[in-house]
A and B are shown apart, each in its own frame.
Chain A
Amino acid sequence: MSRVLRIENIRPVQHGEPSQALTSVLVADGQIALIGDQARHGEADQVIDGGGQWLLPGLIDLNCHLGEPGPDRRGTIATETLAAARGGFTRVCAVPETSPVNDSSAVTHLIRDLAAQSGRVHVLPVGAMTRGLGGEHLSDMVGLSSAGCVALGNGGRPLRDARVLRRCMAYAHTFGIRLFVQPENAVLAADGCAHDGALAARMGLPGIPAVAETTAVSELLLLAEETGVRLHLGPLSCARSVALVRAAKAQGLAVTADVTMHHLVYTDQVITGFDGRYHVRPPLREESDRQALLRGVEDGVIDAICSQHRPQDHAAKQAPFAATEAGLSTLETTLSLGLQLVAQGQLSRTALLRGLCQGPAEVLSEPVPELAAGRVADLFLLDAQAQWAVSEETLLSTGKQAPALGERLPGVVSMTMVGGQIVYRAAD
C-alpha cells in the first residue's frame, strides 16, 4: 500500500561511530521499518544506493532565524528550511524575533502554517517571553505554548529588568514552560559591537566585555534556582560562562546551555580589517574562550551546538563595522565546520554529533533520535570524505553572509529525509 524505500550500502552512525560494515535501511510509512541485514532483502518501490556513505539521524538546531514572517529579502521558510535540509538538519527551532515578533498564538499559527505549506524540515517555533520582546510585559505564555511553541525566549534581546525576568521565570515554571535565554547584561554591553579585548581596543571598536555575559549568566542561574524554571542558556561565548554553568550543573540545577558553531571555530581575530561579516552577537571572543567552549562541548557541560543562522542580505553588511547588522548564514556550514574541527583533532566526533542531535533533543525533552526500527525516518546521508566549496553561488540560503566563504569544507550531505520523504538531494 504505502511506498517502501530502501537505502543500500550505508554505514549507520551510532554514538558518533559509523559502522564498519555496509548495510541497508528500509523506510515505510514515514518510519524506519528495518535497519541492518534484514533490510537488505524484501520488496522496495525505490532503491537508493548510499555508495558507502554515512547515515545519520537528522540534526536539530535550537537557534535559527528563517526570515519569515518578515521582509522576504532575508529569506523565507521555503528557502531557509531547504538550507537546513542541506545542512543535515531535520528539526529547527525558529527564534521569536520575526517581524511581527512571535508573541501571540496568531503569529505562531502563521509560522506553523507557512512551515506546513513550504517548509522542508520540521519548524519548531520559539515564542517571545515578553510582549514584543520588549522586556516589560509577560507575553501570553500559555497561549503561545498551546499554539505550539516549544519554548519561550528573549530572542537575543537583553533583559533590562530583573523583576520582569524573575516573574517570567516564575510564571513559566507554573505551567512547565521552557525558557531559552541569551544572557547579556544590556547596561554592560551598552553600544558595544565586538569582544572587549586588545583587538577591539586597537581598532577603536566599542567593546562588549565578557562580564556583560557572565553577570547575566550568574543572575539567570540564581533566578532559575529560586523559581525552579527549566532554563536553557545560549549561545555562550566566554570561558567564565562555561565555568558558571558547570558549577550550577554540579549542584544539581536543571539548566542546559548551547554554543554556536562559529564560536567554536573562530575568535575575534577574524574581524581584523573591519570585516562586518563576522559581526555576531554575542561577539567572537578570544582563543582561551574558544578552548573553554570546546571543552564544554566535549564534556557535555554545553548540551547543544546551534547554528544561530541569521540570513542577512548584502546591504546589512555594507557599512562600517559597528553599523552592520549582526548575523551569519550558517545552517549549511555548521556540520561541515564541525567535521573540520574533528579532522583537526579539536573536538571528538561523538561530542560533535551529540551537540547537534542528542543534546538538543534532550533540551527539548524529545526522545533521543536513533536509527532504529519504528522510529520516524528523519535522517540524512553524509559523504564525510567529500568536500564542498563554500561560496555565494553554492549556498542555498538567501543570506550569503556566511562563514568560510571561499574555503573548501569537509562533509557533503547528499540526501535528507523528513518523515520518510526525501526533502533534499544534492545535485550530482
Chain B
Amino acid sequence: MADSNRQLQLTADGELKHFLSLEGLDRALLTRILDTADSFIEVGERSIKKVPLLRGRTLVNLFFESSTRTRSTFELAAKRLSADVLNLDISTSATSKGETLSDTLLNLEAMASDMFVIRHAQSGAAHFIARHVTPGVAIINAGDGRHAHPTQAMLDALTIRQHKGSFSGLKVGIVGDVQHSRVARSQIQALNTLGVAEVRLIAPDTLLPTAPESMGVSVHARMEEGLKDLDVIIMLRLQRERMEGALLPSEREFYRLYGLTREKLALAHPRALVMHPGPINRGVEIESAVADGPQSVILNQVTNGIAVRMAVMSMAMSGQLAERQGQLGRASR
C-alpha cells in the first residue's frame, strides 16, 4: 500500500505532485510541508495577503460532500497564491443526474484546470481521480470517505509543532469516533511518521476501526486512564447518526464517558493542548469551557489550515511542472 501510494503522488525525484494520503510519505517530506506552511503564515499577517506562486493557474474546488470550513480555507489558500478559483458543489448537480465521477472530471478538465481539490463520500475517490486525470493536473484530497484527510492532519501537526517545538517524546490521544473518521486515520499516520512517542486511541470498541493496533496505536477504553500524561488531546466530532446505528446508547452517556470536561482535562499533562478538527459539538464531545479555555488551540488550527493548504498546493503544482519539464527534456534528448 505504502509503495503504490508513494508512486502515485510523488514524481520520480520524490517531489509531491498529488496530495492524496500520508501513507508512504516520509518524515523529511512531511517536515518540508510544515516548513513551507510556516513560511506562508507570514503572508497571512501582511496587509496584502498574496504571493504570485499560482498566478495564471486555475484551481477547481470539487466538493461532492458539502463543507464550509474546508472549502473556504482551500479557496482562501488558492487566492493567496493568486490562483483563479472555481467552486463547484457537485453534491447537488451533475452526479445526481447520473454522470459518473470520471465523466464529471473530463468535463472539468476541458476547462483547462491545473488543480482539483476533491472531497467525496467514497474512500479512494481522490486516488481514483489521480489515476485517471490528465498528466500535469494536480489532485489534492480534501477528504475521501473514511479514508484520509491529509491536509487536516498536516495542519494539526503544524499546530502541535508551533506549541510544542517538536514531536519527539510527545504523547497524543485521539478521542471519540475513530472508526468513521478520515481525520483520525490521517492524524495517526502523520504523528507516527513525524515521530511522536505514542498515539493513543480513546474510544469504546464500537467506535474503533478493526485491528487498531496494526495502525501503530495503543487503545484505551477508559478515558481517565487514556488521558494520563497526554501532551496533546485531539477530540473528534461525534455524528448524531451514530446513535441511530446502535454504536452508542446516547449522547449523554457518551459525554459522561468520553466528553472532555475540565475535570477530565486535569488528568492530562498540565500544559496539554486541546484540539478539534471542527465543527465542534459543545456538550457532546467537549465542554464549552474547555473548547474556549486556555489550553484550546482550536482556532489556531483553522488559521494554520490556510497555510498548510497553500504549502501543499504550491508544492504539488511545482512537482507537476517539474515532471512536465523533465518529460519535455527527455523527449527533446
Contacts and interface: CB of A to CB of B under 8 A. Distances in A.
A322 B102 CA distance: 15
Contacts of B185: 202, 204
A207 interface: yes
A75 to B, nearest CB: 21
A196 B100 CA distance: 27
A274 B212 contact: no
A202 B120 CA distance: 17
B267 interface: no
A274 B209 contact: no
A196 B124 contact: no
Interface in B1-53: 1, 4-5, 8, 23
A220 B95 CA distance: 40
A199 B132 CA distance: 23
A273 B123 contact: no
Interface in A192-221: 196-207, 209
A384 interface: no
Contacts, number: 84
B147 interface: yes
B211 A319 contact: no
A325 to B, nearest CB: 12
A323 B145 CA distance: 12
Contacts of B101: 318-320, 323
A200 B124 contact: no
A274 B210 contact: no
Contacts of A202: 1, 23, 185, 209, 214-215
Contacts of B147: 203-205
Contacts of A380: none
A320 B211 contact: no
A274 B102 contact: no
Nearest to A320: B122
B100 A273 contact: no
B148 interface: yes
Nearest to B179: A201
A196 B182 CA distance: 17
A294 to B, nearest CB: 23
B128 A198 contact: no
A196 to B, nearest CB: 5
Interface string A268-295: 0000111010000000000000000000
A318 B211 contact: no
Interface string A160-176: 00000000000000000
B171 interface: no
A190 B5 CA distance: 28
A315 interface: yes
Given A320-B120, A321-B123, A273 B5 contact: yes
B235 interface: no
A357 B251 CA distance: 57
B215 A274 contact: no
A209 B185 CA distance: 20
Query: Nearest 8 CB-CB pairs, A to B?
Result: A204-B147, A204-B146, A274-B124, A320-B122, A201-B209, A198-B214, A198-B211, A273-B4
20 contacts: A199-B1, A202-B23, A203-B124, A204-B145, A204-B146, A205-B124, A205-B147, A274-B124, A274-B127, A318-B100, A318-B101, A318-B132, A319-B101, A319-B102, A320-B144, A321-B123, A321-B124, A321-B128, A322-B124, A322-B145
Interface of A: 196-207, 209, 272-274, 276, 315, 318-323
Given A198-B214, A205-B145, A321-B128, 5 more contacts: A204-B182, A276-B128, A315-B100, A321-B124, A323-B122
